[in-house]
Structure 1
Amino acid sequence: MIPVSLPGGNFYVLMAVSLACLSTLLTWLAVLATSRGARHWLGGHRRLGTILMTALALLGAIFPYQQLGQWLDAERDAQADAGRRSVLNQPTRVAGVDMPAGTVLRLATPGELSTFDRARFPEGQPGLIHGLESTGLYRYAATARQPETLSVEIARDQAQEGWLCAHGHRVEFVMLGGQPRFASCHLAIGNQLDRQPVPPGTWIQVDPAVRGQPIEQAGAGARWLLRTEGSEPMEVERLSLLKLELRLDARRQLLGFEGLLSRETALGDMTYPAGTRVLSGGLRAAGAQPGDLLFSASRGRVARRAGGTDVAAGSSVLQAPDGAVRAVLSNRDAGVLDVAAVRVGP
Structure 2
Amino acid sequence: MIPIGLPSVSFLLTVAALFSTTLIWLIWTLRLVFLRRSENNRHKRLVYLLVTAIAFFTLFKTADVYLQLTKELRVSSANYHLALGAPQQLGHIDMPAGTQLQLALANLKDSFKAASFPEPVLISGIQALRVERDISSAINDSRIVGFTPTNLRVIGQGISLQAGWYCDATQPIEFTLNADGEISTFSACTLALDTTVDEIILPAGTVLRASTGKSYTDGFVDIDRWTVYVPSNAEINVDGLALTDAHLTLDNMRRLHEIGGALLSRDTQLGDLKHAAGSTARLNPRRLRETYPAAWLIEIPDGSLSSTPPNTVHHTYAIHDRTGKTLAILPAR
Which of 111, 121, 124 lines up with 1:115 in the alignment?
Answer: 111
TM-score if structure 2 supplies the norm length?
A: 0.72
SS of the aligned residue for 2:61 comes to: helix
Residue 183 of structure 2 corresponds to residue 198 of structure 1:
no
Which of 91, 100, 121 lines up with 1:95 in the alignment?
Answer: 91
Which of 183, 198, 219 lines up with 2:187 in the alignment?
Answer: 183
Summarize deviations over 1:61-120 as a string: whole Å, max 9, x none.
434533442332122021012123333233332223332222122223334222222212
Tell whether the 8 Å contact from 2:156 to 2:169 is kept in structure 1 after alignment. Answer: yes
Q: Which residue of 1 aligns with 2:327?
A: 326
SS of the aligned residue for 1:141 comes to: strand
Residue 265 of structure 2 corresponds to residue 268 of structure 1:
no
Listed as ranges, the matches of 1:1-346 within 5 Å are: 17=23, 20=26, 49-122=45-118, 125-142=119-136, 148-156=150-158, 158-166=160-168, 169-176=171-178, 178-180=181-183, 181-188=185-192, 190-194=193-197, 197-208=201-212, 221-258=223-260, 259-285=262-288, 288-298=291-301, 300-305=302-307, 308-309=309-310, 311=312, 315-332=316-333
TM-score if structure 1 supplies the norm length?
A: 0.70
Tell whether the 8 Å contact from 1:275 to 1:297 is kept in structure 2 after alignment. Answer: no
Pair 116,176 (structure 1): closer, same or farther in 2 beyond 3 Å = same
Summarize deviations over 1:140-193 as a string: whole Å, max 9, x none.
12489x9712233335554433434346643322113643232112334x2222
Unaligned runs of 5+ in 1: 1-9, 32-37, 211-219, 333-346
Q: Shift in Å at residue 328 of structure 1?
A: 1.9
**In structure 2, distance between residues paired with 1:15 and 1:134:** 56
Pair 52,283 (structure 1): closer, same or farther in 2 beyond 3 Å = closer
Tell whether the 8 Å contact from 2:274 to 2:304 is kept in structure 1 after alignment. Answer: no
Q: Shift in Å at residue 205 of structure 1?
A: 0.4
Pair 139,183 (structure 1): closer, same or farther in 2 beyond 3 Å = same
**In structure 2, distance between residues paired with 1:276 and 1:76:** 57
**In structure 2, distance between residues paired with 1:107 and 1:167:** 24
**In structure 1, distance between residues paired with 2:310 and 2:117:** 65
Counting aligned pairs with the same residue, the percent is 23
Pair 96,293 (structure 1): closer, same or farther in 2 beyond 3 Å = same
**In structure 2, distance between residues paired with 1:331 and 1:96:** 54
Tell whether the 8 Å contact from 2:265 to 2:278 is kept in structure 1 after alignment. Answer: yes
Pair 222,21 (structure 1): closer, same or farther in 2 beyond 3 Å = same
Summarize deviations over 1:189-218 as a string: whole Å, max 9, x none.
x222257653343221011469xxxxxxxx
Q: Shift in Å at residue 255 of structure 1?
A: 1.8
Q: What amino acid does structure 2 have at the position aligned with 1:201?
A: G
Q: What amino acid does structure 2 have at the position aligned with 1:323?
A: G
Pair 85,61 (structure 1): closer, same or farther in 2 beyond 3 Å = same
SS of the aligned residue for 1:106 comes to: strand
Q: Shift in Å at residue 241 of structure 1?
A: 0.7
Q: What amino acid does structure 2 have at the position aligned with 1:126?
A: P
Tell whether the 8 Å contact from 2:25 to 2:48 is kept in structure 1 after alignment. Answer: no
> What is the number of equivalent residue pairs in this alignment?
296
Summarize deviations over 1:261-316 as a string: whole Å, max 9, x none.
11110111111111222222354227644432222224x4544446x238557532
User: How well do the aligned residues superpose, as a CA RMSD in angstroms?
Assistant: 4.0
